Amino acid sequence: MKSLITFSLAIVLGFSSGICQNYVFRVMANNGSNEFKSISSSQWTPVKRGVAFKSGDVIKVADQAYLGLIHNTGKTVELIDPGTFKVDDIELNIDIRKKGIGSKYTEYVMNTLDSDAEFVGANEVATRGAEKSVNVIAPASSEVLDRKQIISWESEENNTYTIRIKGIFDDILLEEDVQSNEYLLDFENPSLSGEKTFVMTVTIKDQKESSKEYALDLLSEDESSKYQPDLLEIQQNVTNPLLKYLVMASYFEEKGLLIDAISSYHNAIKLAPEFEDVHALYRSFKVRNNLHL
């Protein structure tokens, strides 16, 4: 029999301790017909993202629903089982002492979701005109940390596409046809071994129309090592895959590793395709970094 109060720690994060918070938890992600009742009301109210819960409030999680909460110290918990939960009981079951690097990245995610201005023009992603019939979602030039990256592109129609990777001397190192709008690029592929800088294009098969060229500069082990302590701490403190990918996407964006950030967003979307907030964050990221043109 499932426990009435079942939740797993999602990430151990910390906000600035100097800021006084007048709430216990805020809603970071909501999916399903969840409700809450404040200490000053007898009425159940639908839960929405951004809602603040105070001491004495009660939360009701519906069947097959999900609720991600962020504590005023930055710790995040998820409620994944149906039932009624007291805010005070949830707080008692988390360790609010430890703080980690993820605080500012979680705060950034929340601020982005809260700001309507971030999404101005986001819906134009799929409707704006483009110079090419295939628009790869990538900067013109980017450093790459992870050896496996999800490369994706936008096109007006579903087609078979040819992804082509060249070396610095314009020699074709890898060429492969795919029937979807994304490709898992593995830099450990023997065809790419020994190379550090690549030029990528995506073409509609059997047509002349091609995307622009995109330069990918694979970081060496020495260059990658400076990111490892931060990434290890995130990996150790984030047990929920969805929130982990969102935090990592924010981290990679700040470090200028946009290809890695894009892959993190894609992995988050694959885990929770029904979460509109995740799609909104990705749309905002693309607009913010001029990746939608």
- Return the higher-pLDDT residue of 108 and 197: 197
Whether residue 269 contacts residue 106, with contact meaning beta carbons closer than 8 Å, is answered with no
Helix (H) and strand (E) counts for the chain?
7, 17
Q: How many CB atoms lie within 10 A of CB 37?
A: 16
Distances in Å between the Cα of 126 and the Cα atoms of 108, 115, 200, 287 are 25, 21, 22, 11
Residue 293 has pLDDT above 70, yes or no: no
The top-scoring range by mean pLDDT among 66-70, 209-213, 218-222 is 218-222
pTM over 0.75: no
Residue 266 tokens read as 């894609």
Kind plus residue range of the DSSP H or E element containing 281: helix 276-288
Give the pLDDT mean for 224-253: 85
pLDDT at position 7: 29
Res. 155 pLDDT band, cuts 50 70 90: confident
Give the pLDDT mean for 13-42: 72
pLDDT at position 184: 96
pLDDT at position 123: 47
Residue 16 has pLDDT above 90, yes or no: no
Alpha-carbon span 268 to 252, nearest angstrom: 14
pLDDT at position 114: 61
Residue 34 has pLDDT above 80, yes or no: yes
| The residue count for the chain | 293
Residue 126 has pLDDT above 90, yes or no: no
As a whole number, the mean pLDDT across the chain is: 81
Whether residue 82 contacts residue 66, with contact meaning beta carbons closer than 8 Å, is answered with no
Residue 258 has pLDDT above 60, yes or no: yes
Angle at 66 (CA atoms; ends 243, 88), nearest 5 degrees = 90
Question: Over the stretch 42-67, which tens digit does the pLDDT of each residue have?
Answer: 899 999 877 899 999 999 999 988 88
Residue 144 tokens read as 């790459």
Residue 130 tokens read as 């483009």
All domains in the chain, ordered by first residue: 7-99 (no CATH), 130-218 (2.60.40.10)
Distances in Å between the Cα of 262 and the Cα atoms of 23, 85, 139, 168 are 33, 35, 10, 24
Alpha-carbon span 47 to 53, nearest angstrom: 10
Alpha-carbon span 149 to 117, nearest angstrom: 30
Residue 10 has pLDDT above 70, yes or no: no
